[in-house]
Amino acid sequence: MRKLTWLLVMAGCVRLGALFVGCRRTSDTSETRVAPQPVELNPKEGSGRRQVFKISFSHAAGAAQVLSAQFLVDKGIVGRMACFVEFFPGSNTLRLMNDEASAWLPVVAAGSPGTLRNKQCSVSAASVSAASHGTELSISFEVTFTEAFQGPKKLFLLSSGPREHSGWKQLGTWTVP
């Protein structure tokens, strides 16, 4: 007999300190849950105020199982006063966390003329493109960092599937001059 367990479905769910943003509870009786995984960040290191980043994620059951992809540029996994972007492949939309990590800024469509910005960075929606092939989802986007965000940063990725998330993975470093 399987034990009924409760878990947080992490599609769009973010843990910032003791705060969870965008979470919902659900029951899961499956014995195995597969999480999508970050597989690529390009470039992995560098410096500059403006950069096109390419991030890729994989799910064993197919790229359509990657429900959200998150990109965090920060000194650590905090989210406050950070450049924190989330992409939703199903709706081809993205959003940016506000400065205090207390709410997401309004969602914009990838490829649209809109720009997301906080005090650390801006992301032009027109620069965002995504493609999936088999088990892999790749997303490309341009980030412009502000002068106020200067210094060494870590680059983190997290991906969410229907029942599990990958957990934050540091895949690179970046210096904002």
Q: What is the pLDDT of residue 158?
A: 96
153 burial type by CB count under 10 A (0-12 exposed, 13-18 middle, 19+ buried): buried
**Domains annotated on the chain, with CATH:** 34-172 (2.60.40)
- What confidence category does residue 13 fall into, taking pLDDT thresholds of 50, 70 and 90? low
Higher-confidence residue of 13 and 47: namely 47
Distance (Å, rounded) from C-alpha 137 to C-alpha 150? Answer: 30
More confident residue, 32 or 161: 161
Q: Stretch 148-166: mean pLDDT, rounded? A: 95
